[in-house]
Chain A
């Protein structure tokens, strides 16, 4: 401990002996740290939003379908469990939210146009918390009950169909016997969503109304369950899987939307690779700085050895010096990253490339997200790799022979 104090003081003083070099290196570390954390926060923000949007369209963290439904989303592949059975098994299971719904492909027709859409027959009360539609912000009104006879469509679709609140549209799909099932609806609400694809692709009707139109009794095609954390859906998955038995398919959201699931997985890898790349770019300068720092004080190292300092202390001194430099840079860099992210947390408007972002599956407002884990990761990456990068110059410094070092001309 006492040795450590001596070494720390020496290292600190040596650091500021050549303040220009230290400041330049510090600048590089600060920039690197800032870039690591800032970029990570942007990426996290984007992926979080993508996943939030994506999950709201799926929706839910865990889903139950009839067997084969995911590949063949047909009304014939409904879930062989009634709403009552679901309620009996999951009412007290402690999920944040859950619902059963009817989800089938359909064609919607106005007097002008036809489009293919996904028909969602829902219980509006059950889905309020996780729907991508903000019920309150709907032009007109949202559905009020499962028996509601109206339809709610997206703004973009309303545009294309040249329809609006109060006008009539026709939905066509198939019933379980593959007879055409169609029904006229009055448009009661028009919603706006983060993603244009949602506005074009989804229409909402009451669950009971949909069941009646599709002549499917009280069956549903989809049950959705929302847990506390989309990153860890296993507890929800296990409970649901245990509750529903083998006659149905239970899937995590990462399996339903493999693109999103992959994004989430690759993102951790990307963040780490980015940090390591930045560190490597820094490491050349770091090693260079240390080599110079050792080189210009070879005689002093010889002196310390002659005075009875052990080589390990010289090694320690150089490593401490390097760690101090890195720690200082990390501190300032992290603070700077924090200071530059906080003002942006209200969102960065990317609508200039909005449709491009949508192609990536992201919405056009980017909310940077600063996670403590990422800050810790960046700091740990730099310190740990920095430690290893310092080993070589520090080792060389500790290997000097005192006599040669002292008598070195230079």
Chain B
């Protein structure tokens, strides 16, 4: 082993208690960082995936302006052929056409206003997980059947069960009166109150018929294999519809503007907290290394008198910090990963998680995934700050004069 390395290693164990306390601060912060960052990344992933997969998809082809106003007449003409074309051109079946309108839904005893989506029954299950959440009855089947699936809360409020009839009352795309009687085919339960209370789906062809859409819809939903694939897929979609009649492709950020910002807001407050933790660790290292340098002044004087250069001494001091930092890094990552891995199996929850989670389409128990990035990033920053903190103590050595140093007791 390199003599300098050996020297540094021995030096840090001259005061084992101090070394352990300093390393302890790192390990504590590292465990916390590994756990928190893994949890955060896991949560963000779930927030994005759940929100996008429940409904909006990774991107949508829409009329310009629809994303902001969602007006009935901001339509995509011939929406089913467009969706079919995209499916074929992209070689992907996670593409589906939709239309949307607001209407009053009346049962025997109750009337509620709801958002009705016209969907392609054969393709919708590929882009959204709502069809899979049908608890009673079945999902839609025929493109032109006058049937509907509704959320569980709405079903309770309307006091209907599968097979019952609902009267829909709304306005068509031209502002004219639109009405139809539909049969409740199925009832889904997503667990998100707003969705279960406000949303219903019916076959797109029947929807177009009822609301005088004339073959038009409002969106073509496209789900990418994963969030990471979305930008590339979007470029391909844009190439395909760009030539078409003035349609735009909206990415998930535009479709769910709150989502990214909610994550950003949460991240910045989290990073503020992590930053404080890291700086506190740096203070601890600075204190330790400065003291360790000061109390060795005499000793340093002796070795300098023997011919050791101040630069080398400085390097030894930095190496000592690096060794402590490495120790803290390794122990922190091991313990943090163990904790996170355990939670990734057992799941993490806390008081109040139910309500918090429901607000963000999250399950009440989170299984934080262990990834290289989420595990290493926090401890790595701690390590860098450890080194930074020992620059000053190491730099002080440059001003050391052997004779004066030896006089210090």
Contact = CB atoms under 8 A, between A and B. Distances in A.
A–B touching in complex (CB under 8 Å): yes
Contacts of B25: 281, 284-285
Contacts of A32: 276, 280
Contacts of B157: 71-74
Given A281-B29, A361-B359, A354 B18 contact: no
Interface string B263-281: 1111011001100110111
Contacts of B258: 355-356, 358-359
A111 interface: yes
B261 A356 contact: yes
B106 interface: yes
B102 A259 contact: no
Contacts of B114: 116
A112 B291 contact: no
A269 B350 CA distance: 11
A37 to B, nearest CB: 12
A360 B102 CA distance: 26
A262 B287 contact: no
A174 interface: yes
A352 B268 CA distance: 12
B110 A174 contact: yes
A114 B103 contact: yes
A340 interface: no
A284 B284 contact: yes
Contacts of A353: 261-262, 264-265, 268
B356 A115 contact: no
B284 A285 contact: yes
B169 A281 contact: no
A359 B261 contact: yes
Specify the main secondary structure of chain A where it touches its partner: helix
Interface string A307-327: 000000000000000000000
A95 interface: no
A277 B72 contact: no
Contacts of A263: 352, 355-356
B177 to A, nearest CB: 10
B283 interface: yes
B103 A28 contact: no
Interface string B247-270: 000000000011111111110110
A288 interface: yes
Contacts of B50: none
A76 B109 contact: yes
Interface stretch (A18-26, A57-65, A133-141): A18-26
Interface string B224-246: 00000000000000000000000
A338 B170 CA distance: 56
Nearest to A106: B113
B115 interface: yes
A174 B112 CA distance: 8
B291 A259 contact: no
B273 A274 contact: yes
A111 B175 contact: yes
With most chain B CB atoms within 10 A of its CB, the pick from A113, A114, A172, A361 is: A114
Interface in A165-210: 172-174, 178, 180
B156 A72 contact: yes
Interface in A50-79: 71-74, 76
A178 B109 contact: yes
B287 A107 contact: no
Contact of B294 (A20, A277, A280, A284): A20
B356 to A, nearest CB: 6
A265 B265 CA distance: 21
A178 B351 contact: no
B168 to A, nearest CB: 11
Interface string A274-293: 10011011101101110110
A113 B72 contact: yes
B133 to A, nearest CB: 20
Contact of A115 (B32, B102, B175, B259): B102
Contact of B279 (A20, A31, A280): A31
Contact of A287 (B21, B69, B198, B350): B21
B355 A112 contact: no
Contact of A284 (B22, B71, B113): B22
B110 A116 contact: no
Nearest to B108: A178
Interface in A1-52: 18, 20-21, 24-25, 27-28, 31-32, 35, 39, 42
Given A71-B156, A178-B108, A359 B360 contact: yes
A243 to B, nearest CB: 29
Contacts of B264: 353, 356
A105 interface: yes
A106 B113 CA distance: 6
A261 to B, nearest CB: 8
Nearest to B102: A114
B276 A116 contact: no
Contacts of A31: 276, 279-280, 283
A218 interface: no
Contact of B356 (A72, A114, A266): A266
B101 interface: yes
Given A114-B72, A178-B106, A288-B18, A107 B113 contact: yes
A120 to B, nearest CB: 14
A115 B103 CA distance: 8
Contacts of B272: 39
A407 interface: no
Contacts of B161: none
Contacts of A289: 287
A238 interface: no
Contact of B104 (A20, A25, A107, A296): A107
B358 to A, nearest CB: 7
B290 interface: yes
Contacts of A251: none
B359 A259 contact: yes
Interface in A100-137: 105-107, 109, 111-117
Interface in B105-147: 106-115
Nearest to B261: A356
A266 B351 contact: yes
Given A277-B277, A356-B265, 17 more contacts: A21-B290, A28-B287, A31-B280, A39-B273, A42-B269, A112-B175, A114-B171, A116-B198, A160-B71, A174-B110, A178-B106, A180-B169, A356-B257, A356-B259, A357-B262, A359-B259, A360-B359
20 contacts: A106-B113, A111-B175, A114-B72, A115-B102, A116-B113, A117-B113, A159-B69, A178-B108, A180-B106, A259-B355, A274-B273, A277-B32, A277-B277, A278-B277, A282-B280, A288-B288, A353-B265, A356-B259, A356-B262, A356-B263
Interface of B: 17-18, 21-22, 24-25, 28-29, 32, 69-73, 101-104, 106-115, 153, 156-157, 169-171, 175, 198, 257-266, 268-269, 272-273, 276-277, 279-281, 283-284, 286-288, 290-291, 294-295, 350-352, 354-356, 358-360
Top 6 A-B residue pairs of the complex, sorted by shortest distance between their CB atoms: A356-B261, A174-B111, A116-B113, A284-B25, A356-B262, A28-B283
